[in-house]
Structure 1
Amino acid sequence: MNFINRMLIAALFFGSFSVQAADMTPDALAKNTTQEVLALIKQDKDLAGNQEKLHKLIEAKILPHFDFARMTRLAVGKNWRSATAPQQESLVKEFRTLLVRTYSNSLAAYKNQVIDFKPFKMQPDETDVTVKTQVVQPGAQPIPIDYAMEKTADGWKVYDVTVDGVSLVINYRSSFSSEVRQSGIDGLIKTLVEKNQSASGGSQSTAAKK
């Protein structure tokens, strides 16, 4: 299982927060949503072949609880400071779209995982914490997943996920830095746009054949 597919597991188990999310502790937030997410995936048999439905699910239940601005900033690294405001906006938009499509393409493959939450402690004034979990899969080794979270005015937000010791933002930082060295910030944006358009075209072609 590759890193991006493992990232999907992380997103699934952390999505679908309730309206009370802003008042909950980070670990309680994750625990209270697990069963809802699993039930939704298991009950809806149409998810696997319906890209539009998958996108709506991810947009509504998962992405609002990730801080994509901070995630993109961390992934771009030192090159973020040299990007103009419009370039930064484009980077966040395209990085977000990239992850939506990645999750959508893999979503249906995961239906029977169980998540184990590790003991969690935090001080009352803490605003940056890590929630440690482990995904147990039948016939496979457990996958440790750590959520780096920051408390914001809108509640706790995920700004990085570490899967089996590999950070999402660091994983992308290497390829992003290489692209910037070769083609600049505009080159990175262009590459992301092309990947997203290619993925979108592929999804549309698949839907058209059905």
Structure 2
Amino acid sequence: MTKSLFQAASLAALLMVPAAYAEVPADPAVAPVQSFYDTLIATMKQGKQLGVKGRYEKLKPVIEQSFDLPGMTRLSVGPAWNTMSEADQKALTAALSRYTIASYASNFKSFDGEKFTVDPASTVRGADKVVTSKLTAGKDVIPFNYRMRQAGSSWKIIDIFLNGYVSQIAKQRSDFAATMQSGGAAALEKKLDTLSDGLMKD
């Protein structure tokens, strides 16, 4: 397992995982996390053959299904979101979605015996639920907590907590604040696109 895998975890998308191909969990809030992990593991096992673009395409559908990407974008931007035009909101959502997927595709590039375990039962936190999991790689164990929010009849990931408490949303809001203040939505979209372009290079 490479150092970049742990760096990816610290982003949280980036980013963020369970025994491969377990039975579908009975808890509906757990199912999206398990589905994401199953695809992530399969992609890592094919990582070298797929290349970064192939990994991106393989991960894109499950991330779009399992993550509330519009909600995560809104929370990452913060109060400024409410003053943006609908066009800017859509552009930022597309840019952050691409960055999230590219982060996983770039950093989770190969498989070296990692074991991913997800708790089959979630815990309630207000209107949301929390799904706990851990990544085991050799002697290293990294816990991840996923905050799940209901969207219609489905539960989706709205935040990821590295080591159980480091919020990806809070980190991104802090990272984005200066760019938003100096250049607004257009500057943040450009920043995210530049970061994604860098991640998509083999």
Label 1:54 to 1:28 Cα distance change in 2 as closer, same or farther (>3 A).
Answer: closer
- Structure 1: distance between partners of 2:153 and 2:22: 12
Residue 41 of structure 2 corresponds to 38
Distance (Å, rounded) in 1 between the aligned partners of 2:122 and 2:44: 30
Q: C-alpha separation between the residues in 2 aligned to 1:197 and 1:35?
A: 26
- Structure of higher CA gyration radius: 1
Report percent identity of matched pairs: 20
Q: Secondary structure at the match of 1:46?
A: helix
Q: What is the letter of the counterpart of residue 174 of structure 1?
A: S
CA positional deviation for 1:57: 0.9
Moved more, 37-46 or 51-60: 37-46
TM-score relative to the length of structure 1: 0.75
Residue ranges of structure 1 left out of the alignment (5+ in a row): none
1:155 and 1:14 map into 2 onto residues whose CA distance is: 22
Q: Which runs of 5+ in 2 are unaligned?
A: none
Question: Offset of 1:74 from its aligned partner?
Answer: 0.6
The Cα offsets for residues 55-107 of structure 1, whole Å up to 9 and x where unpaired, read as 11111333321110000001001111121111101110000111121111112
Whole-Å Cα distance in 1 between the matches of residues 167 and 19 of structure 2?
Answer: 16
Q: Determine if the alignment matches structure 1 residue 117 to structure 2 residue 127.
A: no
User: Alpha carbons of 1:133 and 1:64: their partners in 2 closer, same or farther (altered >3 Å)?
Assistant: same
Distance in 2 (alpha carbons) for counterparts of 1:178 and 1:31: 35
1:197 to partner: Cα distance: 3.8
* In the alignment, structure 1 residue 102 sits paired with structure 2 residue 106: no
**1:19-98 equivalences in 2 (<5 Å):** 24-27=27-30, 30-31=33-34, 34=37, 37-39=40-42, 41-42=44-45, 46-47=49-50, 50-98=51-99
Please report the RMSD computed on the Cα atoms of aligned residues, expressed in angstroms.
3.4
Return the alpha-carbon distance in structure 2 between the equivalents of residues 32 and 180 of structure 1: 34
Q: 1:91-125 CA distances to partner (integer Å, 9 max, x unpaired)?
A: 100001111211111122444222333473557xx
2-structure distance, mates of 1:54, 1:25: 26
Counterpart contact for 1:12–1:62, Cα < 8 Å: no
Give 3-state SS (helix, strand or coil) of 2:181's partner.
helix
Aligned-partner SS, 1:108: coil
Give the match for residue 134 of structure 2. 134
Using the size of structure 2 for normalisation, the TM-score is: 0.78
Aligned to 1:148: 147
| Structure with higher helix content | 1
Question: How far did residue 191 of structure 1 move?
Answer: 1.9
